[in-house]
Amino acid sequence: MTRAVLLVSLVVLIAACGGEEANEAAAVVQPALAGVDDARLAAAADDGEEWLTHGRTWSEERHSPLTAVDADNVALLQRRWSFDTGTERGLEATPIVVDGVLYTTGTWSVVWALDARTGELLWKYDPAVAKEVGRRACCDVVNRGVAVYGGRVYFGTLDGRLIALDAESGAAVWQVQTTPPGESYTITGAPRVLEGKVIIGNGGAEFGVRGYVSAYDAASGDPLWRTFTVPGDPSKPFESEAMKQAAETWTGSWWELGGGGTVWDSMAYDPELGLLYVGTGNGSPWVRRVRSPGGGDNLHLSSILALDPDDGRIVWHFQTTPGDNWDFTATQHLILADLEIDGVVRKTIMQAPKNGFFYVLDRETGEFISGEAYATVTWATGLDEDGRPIEAAGQDYPEKLALVQPTFFGAHNWQPMSFNPATGLVYIPAQEVLGAYLQDPAYQRSELDFNVATHMNVFAAFPPEVASGHLLAWDPVRQREAWRVPHGLPWNGGTLTTAGNLVFQGTADGRFVAYRADDGRPLWVDHVGTGIIAAPMTYAIDGVQYVSVMAGWGGAFGLVGGTAARGVAVGPGVLVTWALPEAIPTPEQIEAYVTRTGELADGERAYHQWCARCHGAGAVSSSNIPDLRFAGEGLVDIALNGIPDTGMPAFGAELDEEDARLILRYLRKRKEETVR
């Protein structure tokens, strides 16, 4: 859809809604907030100030050109603001920042708009997802974020709705149900918007569903197309030629079991080639001899699909795990980058799916360029010249248990990776987790149960030693590791890389760390106190560069990890934002501050004369001695008379009651200034 058509639609919609006055002059200018259009999205690579779409650009590199924070000064980074989400479960969203506003999502599909400079809440939208839906979600009640376009904020809900909000007010403009009511589809992924279309997928392959991806008109919410990834009942007409051909790779009555192949996370878009890329998920159920008893590749499970965004037609496909048998989704992050390979610049698409192989494909044709194992791989001995895995004997657990690596948690899961064109490296939140698979012969399909057809109590058999994680820097041209930083625990955060030669990543044990992008040297750490699984992002306002991440432990491994997840940091869900300190004041400014007069200044002076050497400068305690910002009226008596046998002296000889009240007033002021 062209911009002109979109604007006409907006005018019609505004008139139809009767909310704002139908004013054509107002409708043909960019909306005051979130006036993102295709031109801005296409130029996003050079616009470091904003973070306009899920992976920053349509190519999803998660690389920022900002350089104000760099490898030389990152050690000075300090917390600028934080926003308490009031939630305690997994936070997986990448915030969007546009026109000074930060939009993000949390558990149960709640959306927040914050002032990106201060963290002040502008509005909150709660779609009121019924909590019963939670049991139909395989991997926590998470949400990975919004899309912003034409003054609207788009997001999916756990119960399968796609909702458009007014970016300024947070009021719903339209909503559509994108999934059949009553079936175990859930949405956790972020929508993407391109050419007036909102693209949204869903999950549910553990619950016996059939995967698809849909496009809706961004202005009206009207459905535009729906592309199934796996074939349905062959006795009914196939939706497309692609589904007819795909059905030849299935056997048995797969459609009665669901099939799987859900599009629950990754997408990317190349406007020059006119191709939309999506990753598809695992088979449903997991065990292929149950799902497709006569064998077959089971297209398009565990595949990268290139679609024509005009009609959703499948242009090419590449299957990473033919006949998936291990929950090896290929929904992991897709990155589009132009790489020089053998002296030729190739338009590539890259993925590190769960199955442990790193793939580089030609994104115009889907041709396999190269692939290598980026983790321990036991289920295959390698890839053939077409990129097809060569399966290892016994790893498909025929009648007896098999220990397999990677596993259902993946050598890399949904946590986004990033690509830095200066270093030529991809930064993967990688992990080594050993899994056990044993077919459950008593399996029966049930919509409210895990439809995997393997014994679920293999989870209980995990010794904690079998799971670890690391930050892996991977050279996609040479297909080899450049460096790695071990984390101990698996299930760490997504990554961000910047032109300041930096990589940022949060960890399961609650640290937020900056590394040099070229050699992996750690440069700075802040202890957030809550396990981080989301990816960080960065933006700039008035020359100040901010780095933000959502910290909230959860997700699939976060919930089911058991003893393998011991030592993670479980704390309140919070969005934390860092920046470099503001300019250091001059000696004249410091002297003017120190010698100023007035009651507050007198209280401050008395506090620093008598209290600060134990209770901390600026009334911030950095030790186990009480932080007096939280003191009540009782402080006056304690200051004058002390507390016997504690080391708190009586200051009755030095201070009178009025002095103590001035100190208390100063402490209250400091609480206001420093505690959110």
Nearer to Ca ion, 217 or 327 (CB): 327
Q: Which of 64, 87, 282, 325 binds Ca ion (CB under 5 A)?
A: 282
Nearer to Ca ion, 47 or 327 (CB): 327
Decide if 327 is catalytic. yes
Joined tokens for residue 495: 């990554």
Taking the complex as a whole, the smallest distance from the CB of residue 555 to Ca ion amounts, in Å, to 12
Joined tokens for residue 54: 């899920």
Distance of CA 298 to the CA centre of its chain: 29
Kindly indicate which of the ranges 327-335, 449-457, 626-634, 651-659 contains the residues binding Ca ion, using the contact rule CB under 5 A.
327-335
Q: Which of 92, 195, 270, 327 binds Ca ion (CB under 5 A)?
A: 327
Residue 396 binds Ca ion (CB under 5 A): no
Half-sphere exposure of 524 (CA within 13 A, CB side): 22
Taking the complex as a whole, the smallest distance from the CB of residue 307 to Ca ion amounts, in Å, to 21
User: Which amino acid belongs to residue 17?
Assistant: C
C-alpha 562/C-alpha 565 separation (Å) is 6
Nearer to Ca ion, 280 or 420 (CB): 280
Nearer to Ca ion, 451 or 577 (CB): 451
Kindly indicate which of the ranges 143-151, 170-178, 279-287, 610-618 contains the residues binding Ca ion, using the contact rule CB under 5 A.
279-287
C-alpha 53/C-alpha 51 separation (Å) is 6
Residue 292 binds Ca ion (CB under 5 A): no
Kindly indicate which of the ranges 24-32, 322-330, 364-372, 414-422 contains the residues binding Ca ion, using the contact rule CB under 5 A.
322-330
Nearer to Ca ion, 49 or 327 (CB): 327
Joined tokens for residue 530: 């809550």
> Residue 315: CB partners within 8 Å, gap ≥ 6?
275, 306, 307, 308
Residues touching Ca ion, count (CB under 5 A)? 2
Taking the complex as a whole, the smallest distance from the CB of residue 133 to Ca ion amounts, in Å, to 18
Residue 415 binds Ca ion (CB under 5 A): no
Taking the complex as a whole, the smallest distance from the CB of residue 139 to Ca ion amounts, in Å, to 8
User: Which position among 166, 270, 327, 627 bears the catalytic label?
Assistant: 327
Residue 420 binds Ca ion (CB under 5 A): no
C-alpha 153/C-alpha 168 separation (Å) is 9
C-alpha 625/C-alpha 306 separation (Å) is 60
Taking the complex as a whole, the smallest distance from the CB of residue 328 to Ca ion amounts, in Å, to 9
By CB under 5 A, the residues from 644 to 663 that bind Ca ion are none
Nearer to Ca ion, 327 or 659 (CB): 327
Taking the complex as a whole, the smallest distance from the CB of residue 279 to Ca ion amounts, in Å, to 12
Sort strands 63-64 and 495-498 into parallel, antiparallel or unpaired. parallel
Nearer to Ca ion, 146 or 411 (CB): 411
Q: Which residues of 36-66 are buried (b: 16+ CB within 10 A; e: fewer)?
A: bbbebbeebeebbbbbbbbbbbbbbbbbbeb
Q: What share of the chain is helix, strand, coil (3-state, %, to 5)?
A: 20, 30, 50
Q: What stretch of H or E contains 79?
A: strand 78-84
Residue 518 binds Ca ion (CB under 5 A): no
C-alpha 54/C-alpha 105 separation (Å) is 12
Strand, coil or helix: 80 = strand
Kindly indicate which of the ranges 325-333, 391-399, 492-500, 544-552 contains the residues binding Ca ion, using the contact rule CB under 5 A.
325-333
User: Which amino acid belongs to residue 632?
Assistant: G
Asked if 163 and 177 count as a contact pair (C-beta separation under 8 A), the reply is no
Taking the complex as a whole, the smallest distance from the CB of residue 327 to Ca ion amounts, in Å, to 5
Taking the complex as a whole, the smallest distance from the CB of residue 191 to Ca ion amounts, in Å, to 20
Kindly indicate which of the ranges 243-251, 321-329, 527-535, 639-647 contains the residues binding Ca ion, using the contact rule CB under 5 A.
321-329
Half-sphere exposure of 34 (CA within 13 A, CB side): 27
Nearer to Ca ion, 187 or 337 (CB): 187
Kindly indicate which of the ranges 21-29, 98-106, 277-285, 441-449 contains the residues binding Ca ion, using the contact rule CB under 5 A.
277-285
Residue from 635, 537, 522 nearest 74 by CA: 522
Residue 604 binds Ca ion (CB under 5 A): no
Residue reference for tokens 């692609």 = 242
Active site residues: 327
Residue ranges that bind Ca ion, judged by CB under 5 A:
282, 327
